[in-house]
Amino acid sequence: MSVTFLPPGDPGIGKALRRDGVAYIQDLFDADLIQQTRDALTRYEREVIPTIPRSYYSVDDDGVMLGQYRDVEQFDPWLNDLVHSPRIMDTVSAAVPWEPMIFYLEVFPKPPGASGADPHQDLYTAPVDPPHFLHLWVPLEDVHPGNGGINFYHGTHKLGIAPHIERPGCPPVVDPDLMKRIEPMRVEVRAKAGCAALFGGYMIHCSGRNDSDRARPALVIGFRGTDTKISTEVDIISSAVTRLFREETGVKTVAVEEDFFAIGGSEDGAGRIGDQIKRDYRVEVDVHDYRSPRAIADRVMQLRTDL
């Protein structure tokens, strides 16, 4: 199925967002802005990444290639100005009946050989209440199936939060059985550099591996409503740790106050969780902290040096 790209400001953008869960925007960035943004990312990789905590970027499977940068607007004034620019803010404001504010800027640098993003919903990993939450995805290179093209499952924004499977060390993925059932809803998008896709937090989407010999960088600008509440940092870390407890013990539901060893966690499992916490936050947890995900989160907050 081919998709229709609409010019920024076109009223059809809001309509497509409501109807399909995703709207495609024509030439949001011109050639100059694409080049300036690419230069800013090169600078970011060279000058900023080596100085910031490890939790603000991920590395790909081989442990070397950069996979994703997070909260980029906090570290780079030029990119901060870019995401707040009227061209972007006005385009997004016109598409929704609530007032958007910048939530974060992520970057997928996607060098040759980089893996794709498995099917997911952004509201699952970043709960926002009410669910006034959008991503604006802006590739800085022409995108096609051979270089990590993106897939949207049109209409899935009407189905609520999908069951996700938690996996050690990787982001959660939508249940493969559900993915089989919604295959007819999949739309594989080809897009010119500087075009964009605007979609809500319920949209199921994924991208492929970059099998070309050129990088396929993309900005992902997250927006939330000024009326939304997000969890505190301790809540977010506690929730990430409950996931580690679940993965290690196989217990389906773990509360933030539950003791790791009391729910069947092993010494080896505790060691793996400790290693993960150290990688993500550069903090060593104590054996006593395993009394609950909340205690581990408190320890991380006390000892983290990057806040």
Ligand X SMILES: O=C(O)CCC(=O)C(=O)O
Binding positions for ligand X, rule: CB under 6 A: 108, 116-117, 122, 135, 137, 148, 150, 205, 207, 218, 220
The nearer residue to ligand X, 77 or 169, going by C-beta atoms, is 169
With a CB cutoff of 8 Å and minimum separation 6, the contacts of 168 are 244, 247, 248, 272
How far does Cα 26 stand from its chain's mean position?
Answer: 23
Q: How far is the CB of 117 from ligand X (least distance, A)?
A: 4
With a CB cutoff of 8 Å and minimum separation 6, the contacts of 85 are none
The nearer residue to ligand X, 222 or 274, going by C-beta atoms, is 222
Per DSSP bridges, beta strands 22-25 and 196-200 are antiparallel
- Preceding omega of 130 cis (within 30 degrees of 0): yes
The nearer residue to ligand X, 28 or 220, going by C-beta atoms, is 220
Name the one residue in this structure whose structure tokens are 């295959």. Answer: 183
The nearer residue to ligand X, 152 or 260, going by C-beta atoms, is 152
Residue nearest ligand X (C-beta atom): 207
Write b or e for each residue in 152-191: b if 16 or more Cβ atoms lie within 10 A of its Cβ, otherwise e.
Answer: bbbbbbebeebebeeeeeeebbbeeebbeebeebbbebeb
Q: How far is the CB of 290 from ligand X (least distance, A)?
A: 32
Q: How far is the CB of 129 from ligand X (least distance, A)?
A: 19
The nearer residue to ligand X, 136 or 273, going by C-beta atoms, is 136
Question: One-letter amino acid identity for 136?
Answer: L
The nearer residue to ligand X, 112 or 116, going by C-beta atoms, is 116
Residue 186, classed as helix, strand or coil, is strand
Q: How far is the CB of 175 from ligand X (least distance, A)?
A: 17
Q: How far is the CB of 193 from ligand X (least distance, A)?
A: 13
CA dihedral over 266, 271, 276, 280, signed as positive or negative? positive
Q: How far is the CB of 213 from ligand X (least distance, A)?
A: 17
